[in-house]
A and B are shown apart, each in its own frame.
Chain A
Amino acid sequence: MTVLRILLGAVGVVAAGYGVSLLTELPPPLLLVIAEWVVAGVLAHDAVIAPLGVAAGWATRRWIPAPWRRPLVVAATCTVAVALLALPLLLDRPRPVNPTLLDRDYPLAIGLALAAVWIAAAAAGLRASWVRTRTGRRMVRADVPE
């Protein structure tokens, strides 16, 4: 275990060092741009996406009945992931002139996919509510996270 960890750590340091050495071959102005993209990615997550997620989680616990929380969180996670990955497909941005690129009806296709996700979530929520109603107070512990 210890040997494995030392080995893994050493390989990691060497690999990261090799990555840095490859980067330093690039002209400094490009390095600056790359650094900007790296920092922007971290900031976009830590200052925007994650706080929104925390707020959504808090709101879910505050206002959403217990049986509906898990389906809601699962469906919301799917939606956020799909939305992020769909940005290059949906945004109005410079596109290459190539009729075989971006040649789907993305609003329709993505809308259908998310509709399927939320229908499944609604079904799961209804089922959980129904189970709880049927079993009554024995299920009150479901309020407590697992």
Chain B
Amino acid sequence: MFIGHEEVDDLALGSVVLGTGGGGDISLSKLMLHQAITTHGPVRVVDAGELDPTGLLLPVALVGASVGFTEKLINGGEAGRALQAMEEHWKRKGVAVLPLEVGGVNTLYPLVVAAELGLPCVDADTMRRAFPKIEMTQFTLAGITASPLIAVDVKGNVAVFDAVDNATAERFIRSCVVEMGMFAVMSCYSVTAKQCVDHAILGSMSYALEVGRRLSAIQRGDVGAWDEFLGFADAQILFSGKVVDIERRSVGGWTRGTVSLEQLDDASRTLRVDIQNENLIALEDGIALATVPDLISFVDVETGTPMTTDDLAYGQRLHTIAMPAHDGWRTPAAIELVGPRVFGYDIDYVPIGGTK
């Protein structure tokens, strides 16, 4: 599969839905990807299974405050330095770029890096949604270390961490990112193609593209497009309502908030969605209808536009969509890593559409 100019819009749409309210402002990463495709041609996306099983994969992601990125952008040379440092650590060349987070800007950014380095990009990731912390990956569940973790800033400063566990790696990168001017390019979880086949979520990039194509059909007004989208993503419309209250605040470097929606047909019904960077819990009358790690996303009722938390405003009419997380997130061990209690909620995980 190749990602060319024609695929960028649909891929970006799918990324916003998988970003579940977080994942940053997609528009700048779209510009970067268009620019990379213009310069280097369409980006080749490969299955991990096509690669030499012993081949080294180079994971990459942007990490930090999205407002820092929209003001400073990046230099463009960061990923090359980070991946070079990773290759030096392993004393071997990488064979492909691996996305860590297919959700938000980190869906498109690895494609930019792959184009610039002349490498293919692997059709896989470690989340198939956006999560706010580095340890929240399928690789952590498989016992794979995030270290060495390499962060590079716009000036070319390189920081390398060797942390005893992945949660510690997360704490290190957060304080490092502040010193680096609010965001950095990061590489961690370097794995072989075989480890990727065994433990990553395969097909995430093509999945995001397919989700985006179906949203695009909704936006065009195609007949049956909503059913097609919901069927493909195994998703349901939890609630269709109007935003009547938004509260956002910054607490210890995290954006927390709640959004309240009033049902369009029945104003006595309200839904509350709790946010910590991403949408985490949807509650009606104190009862959880959907919880993390399942995906909760907002899509504009009229236009089919998926919305990030920053896009929300009073009066918008939104479908609250719930999509089951990848099966890898629905095990007891996974719930211990990314379930509601990890985010401080005293409730159990409520699987959308039941368990399989």
Q: Do A and B come from one complex?
A: no
